[in-house]
Amino acid sequence: MDSMLKADTADVPARENAAERLAALAYDDMRRVDALILERLDSHVALIPELARYLIEAGGKRVRPMITVAAANMLGHTDMAPIRLAAAVEFIHTATLLHDDVVDESGMRRGKVAANLVWGNASSVLVGDFLFARSFSLMVEAGSMKALGVLSAAASTIAEGEVRQLSAVKDIGVSVDTYMQIIDAKTAALFAAAAQVSGIVAGRPSDEEAALETYGRELGLAFQLVDDALDYGGAAAQLGKSTGDDFREGKVTLPVALSLKQAGPDEAAFWRRVIAETDQKDGDFERALDYMHEHGALNATVEQARDHAARARAALSGFPDNAWRRALGDLADFVVERAY
C-alpha cells in the first residue's frame, strides 16, 4: 500500500509522545530500513556484525533515518531511494557513536556497556570505519550524485565538529558562539542532510530542498541543546542516574558557557578547577547546578532550544498539510518537551 495514502486515510494509534506517533506512522518504512541495515551488516568477519548489532539493536529512536523516510512520504515519494538513504544515515550515526565512545572513554551507551569496553578501542574504530563504508555503498545505490554529495559532506562536517569538540574539552575559554558552531557541525549537520536528501531524490525544487535542510538543522540544534540541559537534570534540574557525564568529562556545553559569562572570581575559579583541571570533589556537581540556577543557564539553554524548534516547524510551512508534515512539526516540539 502506498505509504502516503496510508498516512492520510488510516487512524494512527494515540501514543505517549510525538516521537512515538511519528514512529507509528513510519512503522512500515522503518521495518524496511531496519531489514536493510541488518542485511548490510553481514560480513564474513564475524566480529563486524556482532559488534555493530550490539549497538544498533540496543535501541534508540532512529530519529535521523525516520526524518528521511517521513520527509519523503510528506512529499509523496515512496520508492527505495529514501529507504537506502535512511539506512545510510543510521550507519553514519552509528559509526560516529562508536568513534565517540573511544574518544570520550565512555562507559555506557544506550543503557549498555559501551562497545569499546567489550571489544576494545581498535575493534570499535575499525567497525565504525566499516559502517561508514557501508553507508557510502547505500548512497551510491540510491542513484543520486547530489544526495551522495550532501551526505558525504555531512560525514566530513561531523568529523570536523568532533575534532573541534575534542580540542575544546577542558577549555573554559570556549565562547557561546564557538560552542554553537561545534554542535552545528557534530550534531545538526546529519539531521540537516537526513531531511534534505529526501527532497533531492523526490526531485523537488531548490527552495524546498533548502527548507528541508533548515528543518533538519534547526531540529538538530534543538536536540543537542536539550541534551545539554538534560545532562544537568533538564529545565527542572532534577538529579538522576544519567546526569553529569559532560561535567565529569570536562565538556563546556551551553549551560556551562552561559554560567561562565556571568561568573564572578570565586565562581570562575570553581569552573577552572572542575572543568579545566577536572579536579572534582563530592558536591561539585550540585554546586555547578546551583550556579546554573543562579544565572538561569539551564532555562536559557532550553529557551534557545525552543527557538530552534520553532524555526524547524516554520520551515515546513510551505509543504502539503498532511499527516507526515504534522508529525514532523510535532517532533520539533517534542524534542524540547524532553527537557521537562
pLDDT tens readout for residues 277-335: 999 999 999 999 999 999 999 999 999 999 999 999 999 999 999 999 999 999 999 99
Q: Which DSSP letter does residue 274 get?
A: I
Q: Which residue has the higher pLDDT, 185 or 1?
A: 185
pLDDT at residue 236, as a whole number: 54
What is the average pLDDT score of the chain?
88
Q: Which residue has the cell 516547524?
A: 313
From 1.10.10.10, 3.40.50.300, 3.20.20.80, 1.10.600.10, which CATH number describes the 15-337 domain? Answer: 1.10.600.10
Per-residue pLDDT at 233: 84
Q: What pLDDT digit, counting tens, does each position of 59-75 carry?
A: 667 899 999 999 999 99
b/e code 294-308 from CB counts within 10 Å (16+ = b) = ebebbbbbbebbbeb
* C-alpha cell, 39: 542485511
Q: Look at 6 and 123; give whichever has higher pLDDT.
A: 123
| pLDDT tens string 77-118 | 989 999 999 999 999 999 998 887 777 666 555 556 676 666
Residue-level pLDDT at 6? 34
Residue 239: the pLDDT is: 42
For residue range 203-245, list pLDDT tens digits in order: 999 999 999 999 999 999 999 999 999 999 876 544 443 578 8
- Residue 80, all three cell numbers: 527505495
- Domain residue ranges of the chain, discontinuous segments joined by +: 15-337
pLDDT of residue 168: 92
Cell numbers linked to 177: 558562539
Which one, of 251, 250, 241, 230, lies nearest residue 302 by Cα? 230
Please give the Cα distance from 165 to 221 (Å, whole number). 15
**The pLDDT of residue 1:** 29
- The whole-number pLDDT of residue 138 equals 97
Q: Tell me the pTM.
A: 0.89
pLDDT digits 0-9 by tens, 133-181: 999 999 999 999 999 999 999 999 999 999 999 899 999 999 999 999 9
pLDDT for res 191: 98
Calpha distance 274→254 (Å, rounded)? 16
**Mind giving me the DSSP string for 88-100?**
HHHHHHHHHHHHH
pLDDT band per the 50, 70, 90 thresholds, residue 11: very low
Which secondary structure element, helix H or strand E, spans residue 109, and what is its range? strand 108-109
> What percent of the chain has a predicted confidence (pLDDT) above 90?
70
Within 10 Å of residue 126's Cβ, how many Cβ atoms?
16
Q: What are phi and psi of 171, to 5 degrees?
A: -105, 100
